[in-house]
Amino acid sequence: MRRTNRDPADRRAKLTTMQDVETVVEELADHDDAGLVVAACWYDVSDDRPNYRMSQFDVQNFLWLTLPQLLRDPPADIDPMPGWREVVAEAAWFFERLDQPRYAAICRGQRTAEILEAAHDAMHSFELYARATHDSGIMPPVGLRITWLDSPGPREQALYDAITRALERAIAAGELDPAEDAKRLALAAGVLEQLPDGHLETMQDLMLAERMHRLRTTSGSQTLRELLVRVGPDVAKPLDLTPELLLAGTRPLGQIVHDRDGTGPLAALARKFGLLDENLDRTDDGERALAQPVLLFEAVVDGFAVPDDPTARHAALPLLAMLILSDTIDEEMLLDRIGIVFFETRESDVPTPSDTVRRAVAGLLADMRTAGLTAGDRLTDFGRRVALTGLRTRAMRSADD
């Protein structure tokens, strides 16, 4: 890339500006009410981080989501609320002072004007915001299989910020097309494996520990909390999920999906997991799973960790934890403990398993035998990997557990 020489005074001025964001924010707030609105946004986003440099995600969220809300429902301490053009002009000035011309361009862009012109219509402006945000390409891809919380912990917030900034940098440098989902996913997945300064664990592992802690502390069941404490060290260990191992474990199910064979329990499982439809035609998920063994494995994990049936889903978390912790499968013991979990979480009036719970657990165990997760009275090696990944899935994707 061609380098250009800059005057030393220009370099010193830029360095001073970059290091002293708060001085610019204070100057901005002194301009007028429009400047005060932008300054208030910076203070809210910075969250007490000195000289915080806003990301494109922060800028878009302010211009396309927060500002329309403020225009519809102005804060009590700003009366009258300045018009959106005045606020946008102050925001553009702010980013120009910080030598961030791309962000100033977003402020003055047609997309921003379109959204703010529609601010009076909450539903329409939100639809425009969602479309513009998606088109920007900086949002974490859904293929990461993470449900991001509205009120995240510090490790989740750090990971989210790292992913959006990495995507932003690649797109701004012309290295990534915002519409190339596969490349976006690969870049974001690489961020998951980064080691933050001062840590030996990856960003993904740090967030997993935070989410497992949340899963334990928010559970209404003391029994489930104890199970999650005991199984936590196993969940935290790295999993060996090579393509060879995944292929060996998923081959029987994959063969059914490939052949579209409608007979036998494996075919019923393929339909239950959304890989075949009722006419034995492959679904879109089924087509993708045949092409990528990891997606077939994920379909199996989802089928047991987050089944569609509400009773089975509630039973799955303690069931997977107990299967990992137990040397042998004692169905009555499993049912007794799961019955207590249902009672402690007020899903049942008595601490014994109801007929509905018994049917749900029996169905899960039968499907596990069909899928090769269990053999005899034990988890198979493949089954243990599915169970451990299932607990990770519940921690990383379930916002309401």
CB atoms under 10 Å from CB of 381, counted, come to: 13
H or E stretch at 270:
helix 264-272
Tell me what pLDDT residue 9 has.
Answer: 45
For residue 1, pLDDT over 50 is answered with no
Q: Indicate the pLDDT class of residue 343, thresholds 50, 70 and 90.
A: very high
pLDDT tens sequence across 62-98: 999 999 999 999 988 887 899 999 999 999 999 999 9
pLDDT tens sequence across 289-304: 988 888 999 999 999 9
Per the DSSP assignment, residues forming a β-bridge with 374 are 379
For residue 283, pLDDT over 80 is answered with yes
CB atoms under 10 Å from CB of 66, counted, come to: 18
For residue 144, pLDDT over 50 is answered with yes
% of the chain at pLDDT higher than 70: 94
Eight-state DSSP code of residue 78: S
Sign of CA dihedral 193, 190, 156, 325: negative
Task: Answer whether the bond into residue 80 is a cis peptide, omega within 30°.
Answer: yes
Tell me what pLDDT residue 311 has.
Answer: 96
Structure-block tokens of residue 94: 């702010």
Tell me what pLDDT residue 133 has.
Answer: 96
DSSP 129-180: HHHHHHHH--SPPGGG-----SS--HHHHHHHHHHHHHHHHHHHTTSS-TT-
pLDDT tens sequence across 244-273: 888 889 999 999 999 987 778 999 999 999
Domain residue limits, the chain: 8-136, 142-200, 243-397
